[in-house]
Amino acid sequence: MSRPVIVGGGLTGLVAAERLAVHGITAPVLEREAGPGGVCRSVEADGFTFDLTGHLLHTRHDPVRDYLRTLGVWDRLREHGRRAAVVIGGRFTPYPVQINTHALAPEVRRDCLLGFVRAWAAGEPSQEPGSFAEWVLERFGEGLARHFFFPYNAKLFRIAPEELTADWVGRYVPRPSLEEVVDGALGLHRGRTGYNATFRYPARGGIRMLPDAVAARVPELRTGAGVRRISLRERWVELEDGTRLPWSRLGATCPLPVALDLLADRPPAEVAAARWALRWVSVLCVALGVEGEAPRPEHWLYFPDPELPFYRVGFPSNHGDVAPAGCHTVSIEVALDPDPGGLETVADRAVAALARTGLLDPSRIVVRRTLLVDPAYVVFDRAWRDAVPVLRGFLERHGVFTAGRWGAWNYSAMEDAILDGFRLAERLAEAG
């Protein structure tokens, strides 16, 4: 008898299977990698623990907090007040930069302040901006655009801000008030630290503690079980070793383009066209274990400077117990095109560039791992809005429910993956 099957043992797929199990339904989870967790897994090396770049937990929803308590995870997390900075022209100023320009060079501060005041005086921003560039200019003004938002996002998404839409930004980049911006330029903080001011992280070890806790409750988790074909007409999945599993409904938490590329059936032309419209970037995480104290107190730093190959650098041992005594960890993030080659060369350049900033002494590196996340960020260009419903709708009509950050082809976080897992379990449990 066929039953629901889940492709992908990341957080979304694990949570869906765990929820189904609570309702007496065993859905096999098929995971390509040797262990569960997907992008939330952690890698151990010589006493260091590395996440696939910083994975910090923000929870806004009570059902998610309750779920983490049920799993026994909540009490093993420690709360931290965010310490993050933006580095412009070699100067460090607290994040978010729009309400913290005070530590920047006077000319940069003037540009940012004047630009914001002009944008603010121009009135309410439009609800449907034509591009990310327009969205930034209307809300933050020309100075903040030029010194931070444009170069930073061009480096991260690898396309011009004019080609990006603002479909993803609302929740992540709120507009400050005029008072906040003026206070921020003058260094008058009044205790404000901005949004997302706290996060949680495991008191011991890396973020894998979270997916591991879910995986322990999944009745049928098959790791090293990559899916190589999906038949919509006959409703089976075929594993790399040739085994076929029938399914009643399929949960696809693997990336949306992967699900489409695995189809044994030829999709209609409009679906094929929408698949090829999807764009994304990968991220190379250069994870370092380094002797001595971390060079800065921050948890992470943003680098908009186009001359530097990385967009963000973290010091995870500043918030986690992830390094042996007397050492610290560094996580350098470089955005690349999909399926990039020459990763060690990219990592060499990133390490050399960080050394030039004075934040790393390469002679004190004791461990280095290059960890690729591909896909890492969906590129929200103009094709995204039309393509995604076509693709997800087509799959859903055939009983395939896509979910998770890359399954739904969106920009979201671990809390969303948990909520997506809840919803996916409901869809898979429905008779179909």
Binding site for ligand FAD (CB under 6 A): 7-13, 30-33, 38-40, 53-57, 226-227, 253-254, 258, 283, 373, 376, 404-407, 412-415, 417
User: Cβ(56)–Cβ(319) under 8 Å?
Assistant: yes
The DSSP letter of residue 77 is: E
Nearest CB to ligand FAD, comparing residues 200 and 368: 200
Residue placing its CB nearer to ligand FAD in the complex, 147 or 392 = 392
Find the shortest distance in angstroms from Cβ 333 to ligand FAD. 6
Q: CA gyration radius for the chain?
A: 22
Q: Which residues pair with 67 in a beta bridge?
A: none
Cβ neighbour number for residue 144 with a 10 Å cutoff:
24
First and final CA of the chain: distance in angstroms? 13
Which one, of 82, 25, 68, 131, lies nearest residue 427 by Cα?
A: 25
Closest among 32, 77, 390 to 210, alpha carbons compared: 77
Q: How far is the C-alpha of 407 from the C-alpha of 392, rounded, in Å?
A: 9
Nearest approach in angstroms of CB 186 to ligand FAD is: 31
Token pair listed for 160: 């011009």
| Comparison of 53 and 100: residue with beta carbon closer to ligand FAD | 53
Nearer to ligand FAD, 120 or 280 (CB): 280
Closer of 35 and 125 to ligand FAD (Cβ): 35
CB of 272 to ligand FAD, least distance (A): 19
Please, what is the minimum distance in Å from the beta carbon of residue 378 to ligand FAD? 10
Q: Smallest gap, in angstroms, from Cβ of residue 246 to ligand FAD?
A: 17
CB of 414 to ligand FAD, least distance (A): 3
* 280-305 CB burial, b ≥16 within 10 A, e <16: bbbbbbbbbbbeeebbbebbbbbbbb
Q: Minimum CB separation from ligand FAD for residue 77, in Å?
A: 12
For 88, counting Cβ atoms within 10 Å of its Cβ (0-12 exposed, 13-18 middle, 19+ buried), the class is buried
**Helices and strands (DSSP H and E) totals, the chain:** 13, 18
> Is the peptide bond preceding residue 96 cis, with omega within 30 degrees of 0?
yes
The nearest distance, CB 184 to ligand FAD, in angstroms, is 24
Coil, strand or helix at 230: strand
Helix pair 414-429, 62-70: axis angle to 10 deg? 80
Nearer to ligand FAD, 53 or 165 (CB): 53
Taking the least distance from each CB to ligand FAD, the nearer of 113 and 215 is 215
- Rounded to 5 degrees, φ, ψ at 146 are -70, -40
For 113, list phi and psi in degrees, rounded to 5: -70, -50
Q: Please, what is the minimum distance in Å from the beta carbon of residue 180 to ligand FAD?
A: 24
Q: Report the residue number, 101 or 253, with the smaller CB distance to ligand FAD.
A: 253
Q: d(Cα 309, Cα 325) in Å, to the nearest integer?
A: 30
Beta carbon nearer to ligand FAD, 167 or 238: 238
